[in-house]
Structure 1
Amino acid sequence: MIPTQALVYCDQPLFDAYEQQLVQDWLPIEITQLSAGQFYGHYREVGNEAFRVVFEQQNQVVHKRAIIEKDFCTISFERTTQNQVRVSEYNAFENSLFFLPANVEVDIQAEGNAETVYFRFEQSALLESARAMNPRQWEMPVDSVLVFDGVNRQPLELFTDYLYQLSAMSSDDRQPEQQKHLNTSVMEHVLLSLDSSLLFDGQETDVVARRRAAKSVRLAIDYIHAKLDSHICPTIIDICKDVCISQRNLQYHFKKVMGITPNAYLYRLRLNRVRSQLLRPTDINMTVTQIASDWHFWHLGRFSNDYLQLFGELPSATLRRTFN
């Protein structure tokens, strides 16, 4: 049993996808802005060692790559109703709930203005309670993303609204028993919602096709990130060779899963890498030209224009804000 600790509260406006990434410093995650325009978002978090509830919203399309923490799992859903979130090969649908188990790599794409919420628990504690409530549903090992059709998600949504309104948690003076009750109540609401849900088997033709496409896209993106981490800019030919896929299929799979071509993804990812370095330069003497060159942008006029189109400000303005 995890001891009850004081609740912590975070309520932070976001002005960059990189800020959205940094605020979740307890989770290995990279967030890339894909759509063009100035970024605005909001991050709210409440919880302690027993649970954590996170609310995220941003006005731009973002792509998230993360590995769920060891020993912890999350249950998430889209708080808005437009079904604008994809988790791995699964698109959100009305009343969907996503179970993301420990140590699993997930690939999430959220459209602009989508708001998501997720609950984080110690996985062994959650599964112990879930199996006590419904042994048959949870008898299998949980080692991949599960999707549930939340037949009656309304009680969880109403409880989530209550949690969203909690304020001034950093100076919370609740008694230990009250905090313990809140901890229990959070897990109970989540488990009751899961227990009243139907496990989505994902065998529909479109899901199976998207799963195949998502596997190829994940391998390609892993390769792209590995090369960029070594400051090597891969070509489409390099990607096709590494993933063992034709250029036509690679294009088709990216469009099906990401909604953009692999070239567009690679280009925007490089612009995001530049932005993260401009926001956190390793040397006060670093220049925009040096950082752009690090990420293989050689035509500086075109680079500056494309950066402006994607982020709504010139790269020089980003660097200037860093030192102000």
Structure 2
Amino acid sequence: MSELVCATFDEFEAELIGFDGRYHLTGPERGGWRSRSFCVERVLVQLVSEGAPCTYEGVMLHGWATLFVPRSPPQWYRMLGRPLDERSLIHFAPGQEFLAAVSNPNQWLSLSAPAGLLTDAGNKASVARTNRCLVLDRATIAALTGMLDRLAELDAAGRFPVQPVSGILEARLLALWRFALGQGADRPANRGRPAVSREAVFRKAVSLMNKRAGREVRIDDLCRAAGVSERTLRAVFYDEVGVAPHQYLQIRRLHRIRRALIACSPGKHTVAGIGARHGYWNGSRLAHDYRALFGELPSETLGRRPGP
């Protein structure tokens, strides 16, 4: 078993297996960031603890698919523009971008495998290559999580099954995954407006936030960029990330400041200068907002030596 323990989200972000993306905290860290992983033949299993409410914007590695299973209350999670429930699993397809949001520190597990292993007579290849919300009965999900918990215990104790038993376990996990894809293949990812439309609105608004990182961005600007009313824009942001557009704008600005502080040399740069380049002209306000989100002052981030 491989185990990873990190003090902060940005350390954890760089080490998360199978995903290429970026965390944005939407609330202060209140726990640690941990991951345990082991393989059942060609299936990688991860058990993850995230230490803060957050969003994650990323992409799956090409060639690999991932099945996401929440371990905390499913209602905390928003995936593919919808809240999850007790019967929800999420299939992330290889090379596909996605956005995930969770409202509290949480735990989840995932299975990752080459996408080709998920295609059989009942599933076309295109089914496994599309992000989708899947639905299973609660008993099946409980059986899956129970089996993986037991395998994790055996792996930690150095008693993980070997062939032929490990091959049987791999086949069982893949069969369940294929079954879930078949069950959920025709289910819409969202109710109401199509998922593509909602995703397009969100991405257009975020694109403007990124382009105008150091300048003022108003809600009217985001509405024009996305081609929607303020009411629709607000509804889209709550659907996608669980916060209002102006809150998400501030969160992303603070994260850009944090990345700049980490990358800079304390002797050559100042907090005031970095803040001003990202639209924060009031040093006291920056210190207040930054500490509320990250639990430390920006000067502490700037003065900390980077890890090896």
Q: Deviations over 1:172-211 (max 9, x none)?
A: 898xx9268536623522422552673274459x723473
| Equivalence for 1:120 | 112
Where in structure 2 are the equivalents of 1:171-250 lying within 5 Å? 178=162, 182=166, 185-192=169-176, 194-195=178-179, 198-199=183-184, 201-203=186-188, 207-209=191-193, 211=195, 212-228=197-213, 234-250=217-233
1:250 deviates by 1.3
Check whether the contact 1:278–1:322 (CA below 8 A) recurs between aligned residues.
Answer: no
Where in structure 2 are the equivalents of 1:287-306 lying within 5 Å? 287-306=270-289
Give the whole-Å Cα distance in 1 for the aligned partners of 2:239 and 2:36: 31
Give the whole-Å Cα distance in 2 for the aligned partners of 1:112 and 1:224: 25
User: Which consecutive unaligned segments of at least 5 residues does structure 2 have?
Assistant: none
Identity %: 19
Q: Deviations over 1:136-167 (max 9, x none)?
A: 3x136224222222221222111210243355
- SS of residue matched to 2:243: coil
- Equivalent pairs counted in the alignment come to 302
Give the whole-Å Cα distance in 2 for the aligned partners of 1:82 and 1:147: 13
Give the whole-Å Cα distance in 1 for the aligned partners of 2:187 and 2:130: 12
1:159 aligns with one of 147, 151, 156: 147
1:36 aligns with 2:28: yes
| Equivalence for 2:98 | 106
| Equivalence for 1:24 | 16
* Residues 180 and 309 of structure 1: CA distance in aligned 2, closer, same or farther (over 3 Å): farther
**Amino acid aligned to 1:149:** V
* Residues 187 and 81 of structure 1: CA distance in aligned 2, closer, same or farther (over 3 Å): farther
* Residues 48 and 225 of structure 1: CA distance in aligned 2, closer, same or farther (over 3 Å): farther
Structure-1-length-normalised TM-score: 0.80
1:263 deviates by 1.1
Check whether the contact 1:17–1:62 (CA below 8 A) recurs between aligned residues.
Answer: no
Q: Say which is worse superposed, 290-299 or 67-76, in terms of deviation.
A: 290-299
1:32 deviates by 0.3
**Amino acid aligned to 2:143:** P
| Equivalence for 1:149 | 135
Check whether the contact 2:87–2:135 (CA below 8 A) recurs between aligned residues.
Answer: yes
Check whether the contact 2:9–2:51 (CA below 8 A) recurs between aligned residues.
Answer: no
